[in-house]
Amino acid sequence: MSWSSIEKAPLFKDNVRKDYPEGLWYKCDECGEIIFKRDFEDNQYVCIKCQHHYTIPPEERIRRFLDPDTFEEYDVNLESDNPLGFVDTQSYEDRLHKSQKNTKRLDAIICGRGLLYGRPVELGVFDFSFMGGSMGSVVGEKLVRLFQRSIDNRTCAIVFSASGGARMQEGILSLMQMAKTCTMIAKMKKEKIPFISVLTHPTTGGVAASFSMLGDVNIGEPKALIGFAGPRVIQQTIGQELPKGFQRSEFLLEHGMLDMICHRDALRVKIAQILNILSSSKYKQEELNFGSST
C-alpha cells in the first residue's frame, strides 16, 4: 500500500489547530483562528478574522486612544481599606493584595488627563483584571474626582467601563458609589460638560446601573455584554428562554439603550468627532475630518 493511500490522523479538528506553541500564537475562542500574537496585539486585541473584541490592558487602551505621551495619571495612591472586616474564603485584604501584585496598581481604574487630537480630556479606564473591575469606594472616589476636574477645567470626560459591578466586599459603601457618581453626572449636565461613556465587555451590575449608562453619548463595543443581572440569572428567575443576543451591545442598540456601536480601531476618531459636535470651543468644525471611521 502506498503512503498516499494510508488513512492518517487529521492535523486539524474542526479547522482549529491544537498544537500551536504557547506564547507566540493566540487562538481566538470565537472562530478558532490562530493569530500571531504580535499581529493580535497590533490589532488592539481584536481577532483579525472574525473581529471579536477581547479585553485590552488599560495601559494599551490609553496608549492607543490618546495623543502620544500626553497622559498624566491622577490619584495614583488611593487605596481601599477593609472597614467591614470582610472575610469569605479569603480576607478582603488578601484579595486586594493579590490583585495589586498581579496588576501593579492599587485599584480597578486608571484616571487622568491627556489630549485627544489636541483637545484636553479627562479619561478613566477600568481594569477588569483587578477583581473583575468591581467598583468600590476607591473606584467611585476616583471617578467623582475625574468628573469634578471636568467641571473645574471645562473639559469633557470619557470613561471606558469594564466591570462586574459593585464590590461586594465593601457592602453598602460600594453601593454608595452608584449615587455618588450619578450625582456628579447630574452636575456635569447642569454645567453642560460632555460625558462620553464607552461600554466594553463586560459592563454589568452597579456600574451598568449607574454612571455608565448616563453618558451624553453611550457607545458599545461589538458584542459586549451589558446589563445589570447576567442573562443566566435572569433566565433562571423568569423561567423563560431569552431572545438571541440578549444583553449584547447589538441588542441594546436595537432597543434604544445605546447610541452607537463602534469598532475599537475607530473609537479614537469617532469620539473626537462627537466631542467637536457637543463642545462649544475653539476647535473648528473642519477638524471633524480626522479620517475614515465606521
Rounded mean pLDDT of the chain?
89
Report d(CA 75, CA 145) in Å as an integer: 9
- Taking the CA atoms of residue 111, residue 224, residue 168 and residue 76 in that order, the dihedral angle to the nearest 10 degrees is -10
Q: Report whether pLDDT(126) > 90.
A: yes
User: Which pLDDT band holds residue 130 (cuts at 50, 70, 90)?
Assistant: very high
Q: Report whether pLDDT(163) > 90.
A: yes
Report d(CA 207, CA 211) in Å as an integer: 7
Query: Is residue 169 within 8 Å of 92, Cβ to Cβ?
Result: yes
Q: Hey, what's the cell of 83?
A: 472597614
Residue-level pLDDT at 18: 52
Residue-level pLDDT at 16: 47
Q: Averaged over 206-217, what is the pLDDT?
A: 96
pTM assigned to the model: 0.86
Residues 6 or more apart whose Cβ sits within 8 Å of residue 291: 269
The amino acid that residue 179 corresponds to is A
Comparing CA positions, the residue from 211, 52, 198, 87 lying closest to residue 140 is: 211
User: Which pLDDT band holds residue 294 (cuts at 50, 70, 90)?
Assistant: very low
Comparing CA positions, the residue from 207, 198, 108 lying closest to residue 157 is: 198
Q: Report whether pLDDT(124) > 70.
A: yes
Q: Averaged over 31-51, what is the pLDDT?
A: 92
Q: Tell me whether the omega of the peptide bond preceding residue 202 falls within 30 degrees of 0, making it cis.
A: yes
Where does residue 13 rank: exposed (0-12), middle (13-18), buried (19+ CB within 10 A)? exposed
Query: How far are the Cα atoms of 95, 134, 291 from residue 138, in angstroms, in the given order?
Result: 15, 10, 37
Residue-level pLDDT at 242: 84
